[in-house]
Structures are given as C-alpha cells and as structure tokens.
Homo-oligomer: A and B are copies of this chain.
Amino acid sequence: MQATIALLPGDGIGPEVVAEGVEVLKAVGERYGHSFSFSEGLIGGCAIDAHGTALPEATIEICRAADAVLLGAVGGPKWDDPKAKVRPEQGLLGIRKTLGLYANLRPVTVTPALASRSPLRPDLVEGVDLLVVRELTGGIYFGDKTCVYIRPDEEQAVDTCVYTTSEIERVVRRACELARTRRGKVTSVDKANVLETSRLWRRVASRVVAEEFPDIQLEHILVDACAMHLLRRPADFDVIVTENMFGDILTDEASMLAGSLGLLPSASLGAGKAGLYEPIHGSAPDIAGKGVANPLATILSVALLLRYSLGLDTEAEAVEKAVYATIDAGILTGDLAPAGQGRSTKEVGAAVLERLG
C-alpha cells in the first residue's frame, strides 16, 4: 500500500524517538512491500520559536493531508512560564481538537520480563493487559475558562467541564468495539456521586451498552475507587473508558504497572481512519539530546499506527513482537536497565529492527 505519514517530532527527546519510529516504518515498508512517504511539521515549543504559535497552520495542513500522524513530545523549561500566552501544550491540545480525535487509546501490557521492574509486586502485575480509552476532545480541558479580579487582591478562576450525550456515546461505542476484540469487559469510570457530567456519562454508557452491545460486560466504578483498584487488582481490567481529566490521571498511574512511562504508546482516533500516534511520556528535557531516551513507546505507537490507521495487523504484530523480543533480550535504555547498563536510543532502535527481519 501507499501511505503518507505526518511527522511532528516536537521538543526535547521527541526528535530522537520519532527518528527511531521512522526507521521502523521504513523497515516495515521494505519488508512488506509498502511505500510510506513522510512529511514533517513543527509543533509545541519549536513551533513557538519559529512561528510564535504552538500549532502553525502549515502543521494542521500536513496532518490533514496525511493518512496518520506520528508525534514525539512537546514542551520544555524554555517555554514553561505559566503566565505565557502561548504554551507548547496548546499545540497538542489543538491538534487533538482540530482533527476531532475523541478517543485516546492507551494500552498497558506487562510482560514477565517487565513485571520485575514494576514498583508493584510482580505477582500482582504479571499478566496485566488493559486498555484505557480516554475521551480526548471534551470535558474540563476544552470548556470555557476565565480568571478575573472580583475584588482587589481576590482573583477568581473558573474552568468548565461540559459533556453531551453524543460525545459520550461515540467514545463508549469505540471502547465496546475494542472490548469485543479483547475479553469483552468494559469498566466505565466516573464520579457520579458528585458530578452532573458523570451522572450523564453513566446513564449514556449504560444505555449504549444495553442497546448496542448486550454481549459486553459493563461495570461502573468511581474514579477514586478506580485509582485504588488499579493497584489492588490490575489484572481484572480489560477496557477502561473514562472522561478526559480522569483518563489523564489514571493512565499515568496505570503506566507504572509496566514499570516505565518509556514503554507506553497511545493512539488518538476520530471518526475517520487517520489518527495521531504518540508515546505517552513527555519531552524529558533532562535527558534530551543525550541519545539515551527510550524509543520503545514511540515504536509501539508505530505499531498502533499500522493497525488502526493503515489496517496492517500483521505488520503491527510483527513490530510488537520485535519490541518484546528486544525487552526479553535485556536490550534496554537506562530507565529500565540495571544501573549503569543502559543502552543508547539508537542501539535499542537497531535491536528492534534486527528482530523485525
């Protein structure tokens, strides 16, 4: 097949890890007879430096024209002033919203080789295989925001959390469809004992499952309870579906089950096939430019790209197998290797390519 991939390396370690992702795409293209072409755009801090905005129009156009987008990470101390009007995250939030990517998939899989590196007891995390589907274009992230003086010395800040029936329906549907390809269980997470948006969320989720997915086993749990159960019984979860802010917190918590953020990919999908793929880690300014960042989350994001945007399941699985074989062989960057034995970004990338053969 032919496909165009938009590359948005971003800031910090973004360019280093995206480079390894591109090598994997090229290798997959060669080995399976596909022709991938690449177009590159600026996003985040580097875009602010070049164009004064975190999401230049040109970047949006490149993404719109592509079959899928591979993103690195955005942000860094240089652009960290909370008072600044333009901030790197605006690029990330903007591209999600502009492309209508309402479902953010964050799988967490703990292989035996990783279980021993988790902060949780190995017996608890071994066999964990869960998928968080986080709503990504609604909620308190995108509602109205203000901050005004209501008296001298007294400011009042307001954020608004908004959800509508159809926003909830589509992401719950996506979660149920994904659960059908897995173990058939969906856990919907909300705070229905406090929030109106959560009560609507719970009602809509129940109705969608009852009417359209009678084969799916649905449970509702409160977000505070979920934060506990992720640690107490992580292997019980199959698909977790939740709103934007809760998903942000719970996925970072869940990432620790696998021992390192450096391993976790994500896919952000909308109505069409084109999606955006990115590691869930940040730009890690402390290690940027040193060639030691873990490229595996980005390479696993490439696998998701092959699966969800290009429909290349065999290729996606081949990439995932190559990554897990690399981990099992102990070829790891510093975040996962025993002290002093970390390999470079390029070495780990090369080890994956080798195993792709």
Contacts and interface: CB of A to CB of B under 8 A. Distances in A.
A289 to B, nearest CB: 22
Contact of A165 (B141, B143, B154, B232): B154
A98 interface: no
Nearest to A142: B194
A19 to B, nearest CB: 26
A89 B203 CA distance: 19
Interface stretch (A21-29, A56-64, A243-251, A344-352): A243-251
Secondary structure call for the A interface:
helix
Nearest to A145: B196
A248 B232 contact: no
Contact of A227 (B160, B202, B228, B250): B250
B253 A231 contact: yes
A69 to B, nearest CB: 21
Interface stretch (A119-127, A176-184, A210-218, A314-322): A119-127
Interface in A249-265: 249-253, 255-256, 261
A106 to B, nearest CB: 12
Interface residues of A, number: 61
Nearest to A201: B157
B164 A154 contact: yes
A194 B141 contact: yes
A145 to B, nearest CB: 4
Nearest to A200: B157
A159 interface: yes
A197 interface: yes
Interface string A154-189: 111111111111100000000000000000000000
Interface string A224-250: 110110111000000000000110111
* Best-buried of A202, A230, A246, A253 by chain B (most CB within 10 Å): A253
A87 interface: yes
Contacts of A141: 194
A329 interface: no
A153 interface: yes
Given A140-B195, A157-B197, A228-B255, 10 more contacts: A82-B202, A119-B120, A119-B121, A140-B161, A153-B165, A156-B164, A158-B161, A158-B162, A191-B245, A191-B248
Interface of A: 75, 82, 87, 89, 93, 119-121, 124, 140-141, 143, 145-147, 150, 153-166, 191-197, 199-203, 223-225, 227-228, 230-232, 245-246, 248-253, 255-256, 261
